[in-house]
A and B are shown apart, each in its own frame.
Chain A
Amino acid sequence: MDRSISPGGGGRGARPTAHELARYEALFATRTRGMKSSAMRDMMALTERSDVISLAGGLPDTSTFPAELYAKLMSEVAASDTARALQYGPTEGLHSTVDCIVQVMAAEGTSIDPGEVIVTTGGQQVIDLVCKTLIDPGDVIVAEAPTYPGAVPTFSAYQAQVEQIEMDSDGMPIDELERVLDRLQSEGRRPKFIYTIPNFQNPGGVTMSLPRRRRLVEVAHERELLILEDNPYGLLRYEGEALPTLHSLDAEIGGRGGAADLVIYLGTFSKILSPGVRLGWAVAPRPVLEKLNLGKQGADLCSSPVTQMFVAEYFQERARDGRPLWLAYVEELRELYKRRRDVMVGALREHFGETAHWTHPEGGLFVWATLDGRIDTTDLLAQAREKEGVAFVPGRSAYMDGRRGSSSMRLNFAGVPDEDIREGIARIARTLEPDAGLLGTLLGGAASRAGAPPAEEREQAAPEPGLADVVELPRREQGARRRSQDR
């Protein structure tokens, strides 16, 4: 029989009962089944090429932070306290860092008890610790749709079931949330917390309105649910009126003498200073905080004292006008990002035209653009990086099922130079044109007979036969155009 093809296995003794993979797999925890790499993520890895303009990052712009200042702060840390910087620190974080956090929260109009803070290794660790603390396999997390793509693997790893609630321009509709909570209750399923990014949502770019914020906190109180308020971008509002944090509303509405009751607040220095310092924090009711602390002890004992002390030094600095330097820097970032948002929205208007729509964020780092429903942005990315050299985050990565959001994309403008934003959007549009042309041609025939698309889609499809002309543009000319714009 074929099976005995090789006598070579000699020295290894008995035939292994399973392949290597299966041997490891027998040892893997069940939860790892939810941890998956995917072809899409493999493709994203391919966009890290120098000739690719990436609008895919979640990056703030760190190039504007003065190198001399960085050097000065680090040498101050070294001069004043080398031994402490190089030592382990307390799990909850250094006092001096917590003081900085109090200042940041105050700048957003939220006063907190320093004793309710835990310093974490980036905001991402808060999501992990909250899941570690609250989620048993099968427990439900309610999140926005789309949601932060970086939270998806964390939720999966803890075997949470995630209910996603489609947002509109005012964020998560709370009446819809209540319907979902009712349904979950009738199904005997247990939601543990509601995960929301109320300001300039990642990836959606929308902001939760004040009435919804109030109502959300009320709902949490009515149903005894926790809220994880993920607020990395709150201070990066460049227009419109700042809205109170859920944490402060919680303290106002239901709180225990001015402290929040059911809101776990997640903050980070990543977007107002640097993601490289890997420092974030949680502000949580004490019983939750204690569990987070225990969880963190198991995870990494403490966040880096070196960078905590760097942040504390930085917060001592004053700008020429006497304002705290960190605030002046945030102000600078706001101006920079506002300009870049305008550049991106302008480029979208110029290049994406009628067949797409996109959010107009009042702050933060991202625009969420949605194309004709039949275009799959994962497929579009494959072409965009290959043919035009541009990358973005396909919408499907912001949905737990990996299927919805297929015609949307997240576009980062904050960490990308103006000229690259313009060129990047133009490149996406150039990738899109032939697809739209093909789609128009295909819809001209069979599909319209088989079943007419909804009116809204028809409207969008109408100009597309004209786009077929664009298909005829010789590739070489496009290449030449691109080169001439390279700097």
Chain B
Amino acid sequence: MTADKRVVAVLKGGGSLERTVSLRSGARAEAALRRLGHEVVAIDAGQDMLERLLETKPDVAFVALHGRDGEDGTVQSLLEAIDLPYTGSDPGACMRCTDKALAKYLMREAGVPTPEWSTFKESAVKDLGVAAALPEIGAKLGFPMVVKPASQGSALGVKFAREAEELPGAIVGALSYHSKVLLERYVQGRDLAVSVLDGEPGAEPVALPVIEAIPRDEEFYNYESRYEIGMTTFVCPAELPDGVTERAQELARRVYALLGCHGFARVDLLLDAASGELTVLETNVVPGLTETSLLPMAADASELFFDELIARMLDSAFTR
């Protein structure tokens, strides 16, 4: 499949808060696709995205859009509407992964460990008097508590409420990014990421080497640092106790299958310092492709170099 020369529309940028990262991911994907001999049409996703796709008639769309629209199934659904093959997961899987609360319910039903949580929509604050339940939620999840928008890949809006008084502000902050908020038990432990790629046709998906993100000088894990060169040290493959790597990879593959991911995805986990157990935080269906991104890093560690990774990602458009 990779031998075919195709016209590839790289969708990048867009209006989400992760626009800057997306532009960088897109630019790197474009360069790799050109090196692979494909013809690239770069499209900064805006008002004219569909028009340009219809005009240029590419063979396939490479989705390098992070965050809103690109990751939540919106763009994928539109691409299906115009019968254009595209990379990565389908709209349903995108929705299941991007809605972190939905993903957690699905994981709980399937017996996949994930930190205890509570979730509600903005309307519940306005119309259902959520405030009255906050002490109970606080007692159940404990402090510090992680408060985040239920859908949002960027570091923005993620807060640690150290005590009950900080909850209202943190909730309002998270609701600035999405209409649903996720309150989650804070798990102290090691931060792991496992990327999963579809295997050869007929074969099972494979998990890439585990990456550990070790933040520098932070009181709590600073979510921003994950995206920044130098703020976090990445170790790949992560040096983990016996059996943990295999368990993390197995867990990531389970989640990948459970949420119906296709092509590639990155699963974020925590290794609980207290219990030694693994727990799954979330799944990212359009992982970053920048110089600092984890999917290319993990692929690299298994000798799947960047261009080949991009080729594999492109193949996913034709193996659905």
Contacts and interface: CB of A to CB of B under 8 A. Distances in A.
B131 A382 contact: no
B300 A376 contact: no
Given A24-B291, A45-B19, A447 B234 contact: no
A237 to B, nearest CB: 37
Contacts of B154: 39, 42
Contacts of A382: 17, 156-157, 176-177
Contacts of A8: 303-305, 308
B225 to A, nearest CB: 8
Interface in A31-71: 32-33, 35-40, 42-43, 45-46
B169 A39 contact: no
Contact of B135 (A15, A37, A373, A450): A450
Interface residues on B, range: 35 or more
Contacts of A39: 17, 154-156, 224, 227
A85 interface: no
B182 interface: no
B171 interface: yes
A84 B19 CA distance: 44
- The CB with the most chain A CB atoms within 10 A, among B126, B207, B209, B312, is that of B126
Contact of A442 (B15, B18, B171, B297): B171
Given A39-B224, A447-B167, A450-B134, A19 B126 contact: no
B168 A447 contact: yes
Contacts of A443: 131, 168
Nearest to A41: B20
A42 B175 contact: no
- The CB with the most chain A CB atoms within 10 A, among B163, B167, B230, is that of B230
B131 A376 contact: no
B167 A446 contact: yes
Interface residues of A, number: 57
Contacts of A449: 135
A18 B227 CA distance: 18
Contacts of B18: 42
B129 interface: yes
A21 B291 contact: yes
A190 B159 CA distance: 34
Contact of A9 (B168, B291, B305): B305
A2 B176 contact: no
B228 A435 contact: no
A36 B176 contact: no
A19 B301 contact: yes
Interface string B162-176: 011101110111111
Interface in B295-320: 296-297, 300-306, 308, 312
B157 A447 contact: no
Contact of A20 (B15, B163, B168, B296): B296
A376 B175 contact: no
Interface string B224-249: 10011111001011000000000001
Nearest to A407: B169
Interface in A284-303: none
A21 B229 contact: yes
B272 interface: no
A114 interface: no
Contacts of A4: 302-303
A14 B21 CA distance: 30
B3 interface: no
Interface in B156-207: 156-157, 159, 163-165, 167-169, 171-177, 197, 199, 206-207
Contacts of B312: 6
B74 interface: no
Contacts of B70: none
A277 to B, nearest CB: 29
A98 interface: no
Given A4-B303, A36-B231, A442-B172, 20 more contacts: A3-B302, A5-B199, A5-B208, A5-B304, A28-B229, A32-B230, A33-B216, A42-B17, A46-B17, A379-B172, A382-B176, A438-B126, A441-B131, A447-B165, A449-B135, A450-B134, A450-B135, A450-B164, A451-B163, A453-B165
Which 3 A-B pairs give the minimum distances between C-beta atoms? Answer: A445-B131, A446-B134, A374-B169
18 contacts: A2-B249, A8-B305, A19-B296, A19-B300, A20-B296, A20-B297, A25-B229, A40-B156, A42-B154, A373-B169, A374-B169, A376-B173, A382-B176, A441-B126, A446-B164, A446-B167, A449-B135, A451-B165
